[in-house]
Structure 1
Amino acid sequence: MRARRKLVIALNLASWCGLGFVMGYINYATGWSVAGVAVLVLFLIALPWTLLAFWNSVIGFVILCCARDPAAYTNDALRETPPGAPIERLTAICIAIRHEDVSRVASRLATMREDLRATGEAEHFEFHVLSDSNQPEICAAEAAVFGSQDGVFYRRRPANTGFKAGNLRDFACAALGRVDFMLVLDADSLMSAAAILRLVRVMQANPRLGILQTLVTGRPAASPFARIFQFGMRHGMRTHTTGIAWWQGSSGPYWGHNALIRLRPLVSYCELPVSPERQLLGGHLLSHDQVEATLMRAAGMEVRVIAEEFGSWEENPPRLPDFISRDLRWCQGNLQYLRLVGRPGLLPMGRFQLCNAIAMYLGAPASVLMLTAGVLHGLSGSRGHVPGSLAFGMYFGMLTLGFAPRLLGVLQVMMRPAERRRWGGAPRLLAGAMTDALFTLMIGPVMMVAQTRFIVGLLFGQRIIWEAQQREGQSLPFGEAARGLWPQLLLGFCFGAALWRVSPGSLPWALPTLAGSLLAVPFACVTAWPRLGRWMMRVGLCAVPGEKEHEQVVGTSARAESWHGKVKEA
């Protein structure tokens, strides 16, 4: 493991220095200036997270192509688990909710209960609905549906203290000594019985295992935005997660849901720190997951991920504004890790995990400042000329780095006939990949501006509170999109005008950034069109395996429909 980590460090450091040298030469060729130095520094600040994602995906791609069992090759715990071992421990399946659509949660819960009962192992599992809702009509619906179900335990806290993490910890402390494991689910989570039993068997066979995370995939969606996003994310996450599982090993990721946790070490070692609200980034942690994983590892327990798609699903936001809201909540939560990086007792890999989560959001403001510095560098005048081949290579090299996880995931599927058929055949797979590439080019500048604006707001006391996200697809009015995305439009206009003034010939190079910014409003509206989503479903564009298998989708079974009716009656 130490050799693997040294290899990853060497690959990232070499590529970081190489690209930095090329950018430095470009500055030298055009004439050094204060703005040019700023461009170089900001480029180097924004680069590490992109490089790490690239190398993770390259490593994962090689393993997926060469290993007979990639999941077991990257996770020693799977090799130590007897197949079909009897279930001997009690597991609490916990669904944390706050102001959610009760019928949708009830449908997913009913599906999982029925699936577990069919295995004959249901006696070893309890279902707990842990509510932090405080809106009277939603509370009444929750009590009517969940409070009346035999075998489902419903509990509602009067206060949302500590957000989701506080809700789960309250339950864990109360259940300690009676329950062995806790399966954490979000309101939009769904897991098959086979996947749940697999997690429990692995945890039973490995007493040093504290957290076991699944590779979560997006469920079939009708929203155009969600369909395209989860198509690309699914390909990218498969290669990326396989790569990180190979070199992170027992210090793996925890993403906060669809994961099994050993209760005793969670309660004993993973209490989250709370800082005063008046402090910058103070208060309760919004992103609890990676902190709990870091504390679990510091206590000597292992945190591992199973890098395989095997019956663990989530829903993705159906519209761009909903996606931005969720991402900014993660942004605030990840930046809160700045208070914890220097905490005594953490292992080096734990500190790295926290720093990596922070770096995920530092690239956005660095990129905006880099664009600004680049324009200023052009206004300062240049004394030289950059070879066209070098500029061309640097430009498309950076695009390749960003797209590599998705491209390698698609390539890995294309190399296997059985996998190609699961994804609808080569033509549909390639059509989905091209659609996702255009989608990613468009959404990149939008998220860059949204994250930068939010991070600046954090410095002046702006905060996000934990609320339920929009999960039901619906159209997006043009006016609503314009009110939320005017900063992107403004940046695109100012950046385009500045380039026209400084260097008209560079406008084609800046087209991805300009198009994503200037067309942000129509892009948001079009990707929310229900009619477009229905057409994509009909032709199979951006389809994922299992889309036609209705038994995997909550809301299609007679049992699920009956729950919708019960909620309406309540």
Structure 2
Amino acid sequence: MNSSQAVLESGAVRPVRWRGRVMLRRALLTLVVIAQALVGAYYMASVLPYHGGNLLEQALIALFTVLFTWITVGFWIGLYGFWLRRLGGDPKSLLRRYPDGELANTPLSRTAVVMPIYNEPVNRTLGGLRAIYRSIERSGQLEHFDFYILSDSRDPDVWLSEQAAWQSLCDELGASGRLFYRRRTLNMNYKSGNVADFLRRWGRAYEYMIVMDADSLMGGDTLVKMVRLMQREPKVGILQSCPTIINGQSLFARVQQFANQVYGPLFSTGLAAMQLGEAAFWGHNAIIRTEPFMRHCGLPRLRGPGLFSGPISSHDFVEAAFMGRAGYEVWLEPDLGESYEESPPSLVDELTRDKRWAKGNLQHLWLMLFEPRLRMAHRMAFLNGILSYVASPLWFAFLVLTTIETTRLVLWPPNYFPEQHSPFPLWPEWHPEWAIGLASSVVFLLFFPKFLALLDVLLSGRRRSHGGFIRLLLSTLQEILVSALLAPIRMLAHTRYVLEALLNVTLRWAGQNRSDETTWTDALLNQAPGSLIAAAWSGFAWWLDPLFFFWSLPVALPLLLAAPTSVLLSKVGLGQALRRAGVLLVPEEKHGSALLEDLSGHSILPEPGTGESAVVRAVLDPVMNRVHQATARSHGGGAKHERLKQLRSRCLEQGPDSLSRAEKNLLLTDRESLAWLHAHAWRAPVDSFWGRAIDHRIRRIWPA
């Protein structure tokens, strides 16, 4: 009997009925959204000169209705989130079921904290894990947790640095036997395959698994509380926290960070209330019940055509749906504090990430339509993820059709008798005041929840955490301006990604950039096509009708300015200047955070460029050479052994740069070769590569 079953049988668990409440909430949301969408479609038809009397106008009405419905759903979820926060939270949430004192008496169970990584910045990634470790240590519950670094890194300088940092952390924290490092030699199925490999090896030793991303941070008290909630709720298979963005350095990251922390609570509270026990899993900062996850959440290979074949790229929503199908609950709990992640530092990096996500989300269409016995809520979660990217090509198509409609009306006279042999003319009607009203309603739906979020900050007494009322207002206006500039850029990029995904363009899996600024070259290469399209569109609009040109500016102007916008937003200096001015401030910057202090306290390894490479260190440093030997394997005899002998001889004579990445990976994962290189490099001539490397090492360690 596991510990959560023991809690259940002790009678401490109080079953809570939530399905009736959530069905009522969803029914009301559906009713108001459909009613509002129908009203919007009616006014859109009224605005058009022929009121949907031809195929072009019917397509415009259809596209507008879909997009209007999409923003209407977000509006009502934000509004409902504001209402619940004013009431003190959702009475049906997990946290509201148990007082803190009752949770504190709940026994813990063995839990693995796993962090899958792939060619990530080593100091930031393992520094974050160190901060999490220390936070759990401060909670007094460290004995219940083990930690696993699950590496898929392929660059030898990266994975050798990971192993060195792991050894350093074990020494610093006294974590030997509690902090483990495992690197896969075969990358199958991306992150989900990495986690699945861990579960096959060690999953049965743990009742729970907490999954972190490379940029995740979570407080020890929060992690302990999540384990205790799982102990109290044996039917919960996944408990997802709601991570907030912190540690933003560039202007782009700080804008995303501010928006997430100010607007996020409203939308996450409303979303959680509409999902309750049928929430989505976001892939990180969540706790998972390992036994049902292993039994029910294995990912199938898709068997459809093109895009819908092969491994599933985006795994998290699928795993939540499979957990729900197995009869377990999946909860999103927004009020779990100290759950953090980081934003990409620039627009280029965000769009690079979105390219992977777009393909993964579109694959969910196959599962949404054809996977049996999934809960309707999880099918709707698939649809929501799909629309988050498909909305962009729909918007783009709406702009194209609007341009065609305007061109037709300007260049060709109206056809008063579109139906042959009809004695009754069809008179075009114009209602500019309705068009203004419709546009105003769209703006209202988009921006009113943001001002509700601002009001929520004021009513909850958080304004000082954001720099006071004036700075909070300035920050909100700046965020709105940046969002307006970025929306058309994202629209065009997401349109391209959706088309590439539908054409099944192969994607390259790569680690994320988490610190570099965008160069002008990168910005121009990424944004020039969109800027050229916008320039051509604006020029045509001006030639066609100056009024249409001014109508196009809110979309065209951000695209024309996309390259300088991208460069400007990536600047760390500008972001830090605004932080010093108290603009775009978040509570962790105002009041401090033990997690951030641990993260930024000191580096685990020397920063790149300050010393020898990880490969050279692995060969020359006697301690690290033994560490790497301990994690390496013996490849035995045969052709591979002969190949290794050739590689290590070349490495000794010409240095590691004479080897390809694949050759280094093969050589440095061989125990015998590591020992041989260490012994022979230290006896190399002083004018050889290794002789100079030894001289540099001695001068660095013992400077004159």
Using structure 1 for the length normalisation, give the TM-score: 0.94
Deviations 1:502-537 (CA, angstroms, capped at 9, x unpaired): 332133333321222111111101111222112111
Of 576, 582, 594, which residue of structure 2 is paired with 1:540?
582
The 5-angstrom pairing of residues 371-386 of structure 1 reads 371-381=399-409, 384=428, 386=430
- Give 1:315 deviation, angstroms: 0.6
- Give 1:200 deviation, angstroms: 0.9
Tell me what 1:353 maps to. Answer: 381
Within 1, Cα distance between the matches of 2:598 and 2:45? 60
User: In the superposition, relative to structure 1, how do residues 525 and 202 fare at CA in structure 2: closer, same or farther (>3 Å)?
Assistant: same
Within 2, Cα distance between the matches of 1:47 and 1:558? 43
Off by >6 Å, runs of 4+ in structure 1: 566-569
- Give 1:253 deviation, angstroms: 2.0
Q: Secondary structure at the match of 2:248?
A: coil
**8 Å Cα contact 1:57-1:404 kept in structure 2:** no
User: In the superposition, relative to structure 1, how do residues 404 and 180 fare at CA in structure 2: closer, same or farther (>3 Å)?
Assistant: farther
User: In the superposition, relative to structure 1, how do residues 106 and 54 fare at CA in structure 2: closer, same or farther (>3 Å)?
Assistant: same
Tell me what 1:178 maps to. Answer: 205
**8 Å Cα contact 1:33-1:377 kept in structure 2:** no
1:482 aligns with 2:482: no
Which deviates more, 502-511 or 366-375? Answer: 502-511
Within 2, Cα distance between the matches of 1:437 and 1:333? 29
**8 Å Cα contact 1:33-1:380 kept in structure 2:** no
- Give 1:47 deviation, angstroms: 3.1
Within 1, Cα distance between the matches of 2:317 and 2:52? 44
User: In the superposition, relative to structure 1, how do residues 419 and 558 fare at CA in structure 2: closer, same or farther (>3 Å)?
Assistant: closer
The 5-angstrom pairing of residues 294-305 of structure 1 reads 294-305=321-332
Within 2, Cα distance between the matches of 1:559 and 1:324? 27
Give unpaired runs (5+ residues) of structure 1. none
The 5-angstrom pairing of residues 432-511 of structure 1 reads 432-474=475-517, 476-511=518-553
1:561 aligns with 2:602: yes
Deviations 1:335-365 (CA, angstroms, capped at 9, x unpaired): 0101101211111112111112112111111
Residue 508 of structure 2 aligns with an amino acid whose one-letter code is I
The 5-angstrom pairing of residues 24-173 of structure 1 reads 24-28=45-49, 32-65=53-86, 67-68=87-88, 70=89, 73-76=91-94, 78-80=96-98, 82-147=102-167, 149=170, 150=176, 151-173=178-200
**8 Å Cα contact 2:84-2:269 kept in structure 1:** yes
Q: Secondary structure at the match of 1:253?
A: coil
Residue 162 of structure 2 aligns with an amino acid whose one-letter code is E
- Give 1:559 deviation, angstroms: 8.3
**8 Å Cα contact 2:49-2:429 kept in structure 1:** no
Within 1, Cα distance between the matches of 2:599 and 2:187? 34
- Give the root-mean-square deviation of aligned CA atoms: 2.1
Deviations 1:483-509 (CA, angstroms, capped at 9, x unpaired): 111222123113222322333213333
Deviations 1:396-432 (CA, angstroms, capped at 9, x unpaired): 221222234433212211233x211122111111111
1:528 aligns with 2:546: no
User: In the superposition, relative to structure 1, how do residues 225 and 74 fare at CA in structure 2: closer, same or farther (>3 Å)?
Assistant: farther
Deviations 1:259-304 (CA, angstroms, capped at 9, x unpaired): 1111011111111121269732432222111111111111110101
Tell me what 1:255 maps to. Answer: 282
Within 1, Cα distance between the matches of 2:607 and 2:492? 43
- Give 1:385 deviation, angstroms: 5.0
1:2 aligns with 2:23: yes
Residue 523 of structure 1 aligns with an amino acid whose one-letter code is T
User: In the superposition, relative to structure 1, how do residues 435 and 553 fare at CA in structure 2: closer, same or farther (>3 Å)?
Assistant: farther
Q: Secondary structure at the match of 2:589?
A: coil
Within 1, Cα distance between the matches of 2:475 and 2:507? 34
Which deviates more, 527-536 or 74-83? Answer: 74-83
**8 Å Cα contact 1:297-1:347 kept in structure 2:** yes
Within 2, Cα distance between the matches of 1:505 and 1:237? 37
Tell me what 1:235 maps to. Answer: 262
**8 Å Cα contact 1:74-1:245 kept in structure 2:** no
Within 1, Cα distance between the matches of 2:292 and 2:286? 15
- Give 1:463 deviation, angstroms: 2.8
1:403 aligns with 2:447: yes
- Give 1:458 deviation, angstroms: 2.2
- Give 1:473 deviation, angstroms: 3.9
Deviations 1:348-384 (CA, angstroms, capped at 9, x unpaired): 1121111121121111111111111101111111664
The 5-angstrom pairing of residues 257-336 of structure 1 reads 257-275=284-302, 279-308=306-335, 310-336=337-363
- Give 1:443 deviation, angstroms: 0.6
Within 2, Cα distance between the matches of 1:346 and 1:426? 46
Within 1, Cα distance between the matches of 2:593 and 2:37? 47
User: In the superposition, relative to structure 1, how do residues 439 and 517 fare at CA in structure 2: closer, same or farther (>3 Å)?
Assistant: same
- Give 1:134 deviation, angstroms: 1.3
Which deviates more, 226-235 or 123-132? Answer: 226-235
1:412 aligns with 2:439: no
Within 2, Cα distance between the matches of 1:309 and 1:39? 43
- Give 1:308 deviation, angstroms: 2.2
Within 2, Cα distance between the matches of 1:93 and 1:385? 64
Q: Secondary structure at the match of 2:587?
A: coil
Q: Secondary structure at the match of 2:310?
A: coil
Within 1, Cα distance between the matches of 2:336 and 2:76? 21
Q: Secondary structure at the match of 1:236?
A: helix
**8 Å Cα contact 1:222-1:473 kept in structure 2:** no
Within 2, Cα distance between the matches of 1:552 and 1:53? 34
- Give 1:141 deviation, angstroms: 0.9
Within 1, Cα distance between the matches of 2:406 and 2:68? 22
- Give 1:309 deviation, angstroms: 5.8
Q: How many residues align?
A: 564
Deviations 1:51-96 (CA, angstroms, capped at 9, x unpaired): 211111011011111x22x1x5241464046231344201100111
Higher RCO structure, 1 or 2 (CA under 8 Å, sep 6+): 1
Within 2, Cα distance between the matches of 1:16 and 1:450? 27
Give unpaired runs (5+ residues) of structure 2. 1-21, 171-175, 415-426, 615-704
Which deviates more, 509-518 or 131-140? Answer: 509-518
User: In the superposition, relative to structure 1, how do residues 309 and 236 fare at CA in structure 2: closer, same or farther (>3 Å)?
Assistant: farther
Using structure 2 for the length normalisation, give the TM-score: 0.77
Tell me what 2:647 maps to. Answer: none
Within 2, Cα distance between the matches of 1:391 and 1:47? 14
Within 1, Cα distance between the matches of 2:516 and 2:559? 23
**8 Å Cα contact 1:110-1:559 kept in structure 2:** no
Q: Secondary structure at the match of 1:252?
A: coil
Within 2, Cα distance between the matches of 1:469 and 1:489? 26
Which deviates more, 423-432 or 557-566? Answer: 557-566
